[in-house]
Structure 1
């Protein structure tokens, strides 16, 4: 105890201070540490739930991203199919237009051939009419001249030669 006195430490004061400290510790533990512990526990639970919610949201976002990519791939496939269908339909329409144009060209060609054939028949009819007119003219000349047989034959030969010049194809 001498050492404590030499150092200037009073034993009674140390005991009183120790008992005061224990009382203070008890009061703090009862009123303050319980509330602080509860607040820390509540905060820890809040952080854990926030972290769990963030993880859940993160997995939901990943799932939505995968779903979006799948839907995007489906939309791209559908768009490619529609484009191909449009190309095929355009090809079919083009073929139809070409076919109709060919049919119309063939119809025009046939009408032109019919027109040519009618003009040919008309020309033949006119040529026949001219031959008849020439024959009538030659006959009337023969009758008018009433010459001998040789002159009549010469006139007929001339008419035949004139008709050969009017050849019909």
Structure 2
């Protein structure tokens, strides 16, 4: 195998010197360069984690605020419904009272009208009674003035009946 490597032009001394140089370069890079690169990568990873955590916290806060808003909206809707229902109930009460007052006013007017009708009827009856009395007195005075013939009595009764008929 050694001949084969020599035939290919591989020089062991050169390979060894290059390997040692590479190891020295690797040690120097590890000591001065890789540490800083690791720190930069670590700080960047921490920064990304912090950003991701902040994003998750913001997302959780947004979800909490959304839930809170929805609860407030539901409470506002319930409060609005309660106010509307209270207004409807109050309107019903007011309407019922107004209707009751109207019925009472109508009943009062009816009673007043009946009272007036009764008074007018009593006045009319009193007037009829007075006229009947007047007619009776008139017919009696005529009877006394005239002779008491049957024809005259019948005529007087007819006159009284006609007088009463004219009154009604």
Q: What TM bracket, shorter-length normalisation? A: 0.7 to 0.9
Matched length? 166
- Runs of 4 or more off by more than 6 Å in structure 1? none
Using the size of structure 2 for normalisation, the TM-score is 0.74
* Aligned 1:10-159 pairs, distance under 5 A: 10-131=11-132, 133-135=134-136, 137-138=138-139, 141=142, 146-150=145-149, 153-154=153-154, 156-159=156-159
Using the size of structure 1 for normalisation, the TM-score is 0.74
Deviation of 1:139 after TM superposition, in Å, equals 6.0
Mean alpha-carbon deviation: is it higher for 78-87 or for 104-113?
A: 78-87
Task: Report if aligned partners of 1:138, 1:156 keep a CA contact under 8 Å in 2.
Answer: yes
Counterpart Cα distance in 2 of 1:133 and 1:77 = 82
Structure 2, unmatched stretches of 5+, are: none
Label 1:72 to 1:66 Cα distance change in 2 as closer, same or farther (>3 A).
Answer: same
Task: Report if aligned partners of 2:139, 2:160 keep a CA contact under 8 Å in 1.
Answer: no
Mean alpha-carbon deviation: is it higher for 38-47 or for 15-24?
A: 15-24
Counterpart Cα distance in 2 of 1:115 and 1:37 = 114
In structure 1, what is the equivalent of residue 165 of structure 2? 165
Where 2:146 maps in the other structure, the secondary structure is: coil
RMSD: 3.2
Deviation of 1:33 after TM superposition, in Å, equals 1.9
Deviation of 1:105 after TM superposition, in Å, equals 0.6
Task: Report if aligned partners of 2:139, 2:156 keep a CA contact under 8 Å in 1.
Answer: yes
